[in-house]
Amino acid sequence: MSLLIIAQQLMIYGGIFEGVVGLIGNGINILVFSSVQQYRRTPTGFYFLIASVFNISYLIINLPFRILIAGFGNDITTTSLLYCKIRPFFLTTLCLISLNCSCLATIDQFFTTSQNAWIRNLSSIKWSHRIIVFVILIWCLHGIPFLIYFNISPITHLCISTSTHLAIYFPAIYILTLNCVIPAAIMILFGYLAYNNIQKTRVLVQHQVDRQLTRMVLINVLLVITSYVPYGIDNSYLLITSDFIKDKNRLLLENLFGVIVSLLCYSYFAASCYMFLISSSRFRREVKEKLFFWRTQNLIAPLESSQPKTKSFHTEPKK
């Protein structure tokens, strides 16, 4: 089996698997973080909710494109001007908003676990709402040049940027800096600071809830590192070797490695729910209660029906 066929099959089946798993997992995240009061009223829970909304949007919009291109060799962006323009817009905008939410959740956990009262007060659900509106607006504006300058080339018939500056900005600044280095650095730094706060502080503001949220944030940092660092390394390599003359075998190996790295990158958008399930017993309990709500109702009903009978035989205890 050739390397090309291996890469195609890996992208098709791996991509479909990640898509299904990601839709289910992010759906569970949205259900839990939007309905459980302990999560909904905290900035970290709110950031995770918004991240899950944009993660599921990213998977629905961008993953099918990737499967068609790398798995079936069918790049519809080369035949449709609409898809040529909207794909880079959504690819950049949805990704950056989700990563920013993960960064903000990590920063918020540093705030809430701090021993300094002034720093703890920086964690505010009201301000988190305003910050998210600002983040969404900024990255939507950031994506407008992609809508303007991406076109189908009449010479190569490929979807490319007609702006030289944007063609340089996309791989060098967007992918390596905004998409990899800065989010990873922020999450590693504030994740480390939050972990130090936990080690130094025995009693937190909200005790077990905050501790478990912190564990969820830290494992999310680990997910970002494992999924995005290889992506950054691969793109750095492609940028450095873009002018090199490469033989067919090297191109096939790079393509296979690119598919593996791409699937790892998509795992960030698909796997957060399962990381939360591993790291937090409270989150597991809330998911179980939400998914199997009828069992809870069946347990409550007999207790309610037997309550009057219990009262009728109530006697005063002896002292």
pLDDT, tens only, 161-212: 999 999 899 988 998 999 999 999 999 999 999 988 887 765 554 444 467 8
Identify the pLDDT of residue 198: 82
Q: How far apart are CA 15 and CA 262, in angstroms?
A: 9
Cα torsion at 117, 121, 122, 124 (round to 10°)? 160
Q: Tell me the pTM.
A: 0.87
Identify the pLDDT of residue 38: 84
Residues 6+ apart with CB under 8 A from 75: 68, 69, 158, 159
Identify the pLDDT of residue 207: 42
Phi and psi at residue 74, in whole multiples of 5°?
Answer: -115, 95
What are the residue ranges spanned by the domains of the chain? 3-293
Identify the pLDDT of residue 295: 65
Q: How far apart are CA 158 and CA 82, in angstroms?
A: 13
Identify the pLDDT of residue 264: 94
HEC secondary structure over 34-45:
HHCHHHHCCHHH
Identify the pLDDT of residue 201: 65
Residues of the chain with pLDDT under 50: 205-209, 300-301, 303-319
Identify the pLDDT of residue 309: 47
Residues 6+ apart with CB under 8 A from 239: 171, 172, 176
CATH topology of domain 3-293: Rhopdopsin 7-helix transmembrane proteins (1.20.1070)
Identify the pLDDT of residue 268: 95
